[in-house]
Each structure stands twice: as structure tokens, then as C-alpha cells.
A and B are shown apart, each in its own frame.
Chain A
Amino acid sequence: MKKIFKLAFTDFKLIFRDPSLRSFLVLPVILFALIIWAVPPLIEKYAILAPYLSLFLVVGVIENTQMFSFISSMVLIDEKESDVAKVYGVVPLNKMEYVLSRFLIPYLFTVVLNLVLLFVQNICDLSVGAIMLISFLAALVVPVYALAINSMVQNRMQGMVYIKAFNMLVLIPVAAFFVPEKFVHLFGVFPTHWVFQAIDKATQNLSIGLFAAIGFVFFLSLLWFVSRTFVQKHFV
């Protein structure tokens, strides 16, 4: 446990000492300001937006995950590019402990950001249970995103390209809100689809259990797969 916290603490030092990463920490503040103060007057003024209330939350929740997805990805890419990753390969630290130490804090932090966002927003009424489930589910984007990117890239330049692509990938299932009902779940190949659908059902006060369950199974399976791939490649 001491090792895990030591590494997590080091990550925060690295983030705060890198101006480009540090600036990303204000992203949630901007997002909260938009959701709390900008969106409600817009909805009030333009009635046409009313059917899309859940979309504002979908975008808010997924953008919340993007801060640590980006930061964690960049910290690991830097580590790979500078060959520091090789040092972790020769210390008595279990590789899965390493993965856990790099993502436990970003994951929990993102869960808290989502909890705050969903509790303070006044666009839709959501149950406490739904807020909890959505927050824990959506935050799984962070480790899956960063580990997937770091399983594929070798340097910062490649990383930036993949991050751009992943930013689009996580939002593609938004399109499901604009297609006929029978085609909606074609977007289920994207894991974030199940988060979006859970949020949509929650805004309608319907049960989100099924979508949340599919989402958890999907994300955790992906997490297992990308963790293994990452561990095979990161330390060499």
C-alpha cells in the first residue's frame, strides 16, 4: 500500500510541476461553471433544447473523465519516452500493483468530480443511486483510455494523435440519440454508449441497472485486456 501511495503522490508532483498538465486541472471548474450557470438559462430560453437535457449531462460527465484521461496518458507517455518505464520493470513492484497505483487516485478523483457534477447540476432530477452508479461507471473511462493509448504509442507525438482520436471515439455514441430507436444499440460496440444510455434512462427516472451492468462488464473486460497489453509493452 505504501508503494501505491508513493507512486500516486509522485504523479501529483509531476502534474503540478508541468505547466501544460497543471493547466488541465482547471477543466472541471470550467465544466461545472457551464453546467451550473450557462446551461439552465439556455434551456429556459430555447425550448427546442428540452428533449436533449440528458445530452448536456452526457457531455458533462464524459468531459469530466477527459481531464485525468489526458493527464494520466501524458504522464505514462513521458515515462515511456524518457525510458523511466524500464526502471519500473526491474524493481520489486508487481506490475498489476503498478497499474493500480497509477490509476486508483485518478479514478477515485474522477468519481468524485462526477458525483459533484451530478449532485450540483439543476438540469435534471436524478436519484442518489443513479448518480453513484453513473459516477463509478463513467470514471472507468480514465484507466481504459490511458492504458489503451499507452499500449499503442511510443512517444509524445504519437500520443497526441491518438488522444485526439480517442477524444472523438468516446463521444461517438452521442450519435445514438439521433438515430431511430432500433439502431440505438448499434453504438454498443463503444463502451461509453452504455454510460450515455444509463444517463439518459436516469434523466427519465427509469431503471439504469441493465445498462450500468453491461457498462461495468464491458469496461472491466476492456480494462483487463488493455492492462495485460500495457504491462507486456510498457517496461521493455
Chain B
Amino acid sequence: MIQVENLVFQYPGNDGPTLKGLDFSIAKGEIFGFLGPSGAGKSTAQKVLYKILEGYKGQVNIDGKNLSEWNNSYFERIGVGFELPNHYLKLTGKENLELFAAFYPNGKKHNSTELFEMVDLADAMDKPVETYSKGMKMRLNFIRAIQHDPDILFFDEPTSGLDPVNAHKIKQHILDLKNHGKTIFVTTHSMETADGICDRVSFIVDGKLVLTDTPRNLKSRYGKEAVKVDLKNGQSEEFPLKDLGVNPQFLEFLKQDEVKRIHTLEATLEEVFIRVTGKSLGDE
């Protein structure tokens, strides 16, 4: 669906390029994530793909057609969830949504009331956006991005500014979109978001892609394929996952006391990121 080869982009006036030769592809129905610290080039890459930034070098194909050859119809096929809330504060949530809905053909559009209900904003849809909290505005960002039922979705830090409950709901909605065949490109510096929703992630640092794989592969490749068992008596031991169910030492150890905790020793995405890139996701 999306193929990117040797993508280079430099902002006018900057000394060097922000994107330094990115290669990646996103299959139809896949959730693909860019994981990296602020300033790594995540949002810039998305902006090139949704045609806000021009003057890039390299090849970007959408459905086999060069991005530059797509006309305005491209914008009917994509939806963009921006990193920060961007709405007319003097208009109500519903007026904001309906204003931008007016630019799309009628056929595929979702019912606006249902969208507000979906993100628990039904009570606030007729109130001016200036009365919304940041989390409410972010949820409005989300439904604005999906209201015309686009095939390709770009979400820039989709859970930023949301409380844990709403962040979970938005992640669930993104997974639902994937289940409906949507192709989704997410950028985030939240390991939890990337791990929770992405089929594949790329680590991006200083405008370069360092590693691309599924979160599961990354975590197991850079962690231990083992479990650690903690007993209530304070004993603790590690056992390999292979043949765990028939491992006599493991079975014997379980009999020694009540089990307090059993957990796998796979690495978190953040640990993998730090080991691979030498940088933390919080780095500027």
C-alpha cells in the first residue's frame, strides 16, 4: 500500500536533512509505527506522506502510484490525526466536525453523533471547543480523522494528552480500524502504545531507521526466552521457556512454596530501543 525508498527531506534553512534516506513499506491492513524520541523525524516523515511537505528526495508510492502524481482525490483516501488539538475554539465540537466533513463526498461519511458517542463526547458535542479539556480535544481530533472512512490513516502520537482509560479506548478504536482493513501509520514515543497496537515498528533516531520488526520479535530477540518464578518464601529462580511444562526442576520448584509471581523475561520495547540505539525514548 505504501512504499518508501531512500526518503530524504531537509527543511529550508536547516543545515542538514531531517530525514536521511528512509526505506520502509506498509502493507494494506497493517498498523505500522515509528518509535523514536522527539526530533527524530517521525512527524516529518508523516508530513511528507500526507503531502504537507514538498521538496523531498526519494520515492514514495501509494498503491503503486507516485505520491506526486496523486491529485486532491488522495486527501479523500487519507485521514490525519494530528499530534496536538487543532480546532476552532469558538465553534462547537459538532460544528468543527461538520465543517471539515463538508469537504468530502457524502457516500462514506460516518454519522457525526455516532462518532461523538464512540469517544464519549456526546454530551459535549454542542458545546464550544474552548470549554473542552485537552483530552476531549484529542478525541475530537481522532474522530475528525476517521469521519470520512479513509483507507489510510496517519496518527501522530494518538494517545498524547489522554488519561489511561481514554488512551486505552483510542488504542482499541485503532485496532478496530485495522480489523476493518485500514492501513495505519502511527508515530509515537510511547513504548506502550507501539507495543499495544503496532504490527511492526521501526526505530527512528536522528532521521534514520535503525531497526524494523514486530514488537514480539524485538522483545524476544533482545530479552531472555525464560520465565522467572518468585515464591512467597523469598526464593526466586529462572527457567528456560523451552519444554517448561516438562522441566522437572521447574515443577519441583513450584512445589516448594506458594507462587508469588511468574513472569517472562522478554525485554520491553523501551529496553530494546535503548540497547539498539543507545538513546532513551525521552531524549530530545
Chain A positions near chain B (C-beta within 8 angstroms): 2-3, 6-7, 10, 13-14, 17-18, 79, 82-84, 86-87, 89-94, 235-236
Contacts and interface: CB of A to CB of B under 8 A. Distances in A.
A82 B89 CA distance: 9
A53 to B, nearest CB: 42
8 contacts: A2-B102, A82-B87, A87-B100, A90-B51, A90-B78, A91-B104, A92-B75, A92-B103
A94 B90 contact: no
B152 to A, nearest CB: 11
Residue from B73, B86, B103, B128 with most neighbouring chain A CB atoms (10 Å)? B103
Contacts of B144: 87
Majority SS at the chain B contact face: loop
A92 B79 CA distance: 11
Contact of B86 (A10, A86, A92): A86
Contact of B50 (A6, A7, A90, A92): A90
B88 A82 contact: yes
B225 interface: no
B103 A235 contact: no
Interface residues of B, number: 27
A6 B52 contact: no
B95 interface: yes
Contacts, number: 65
Interface string B85-125: 01111110001000110111000000000000000000000
A18 to B, nearest CB: 6
Given A6-B102, A17-B90, A92-B104, A83 B84 contact: yes
A84 B88 contact: yes
A18 B90 contact: yes
B237 interface: no
A79 B91 CA distance: 12
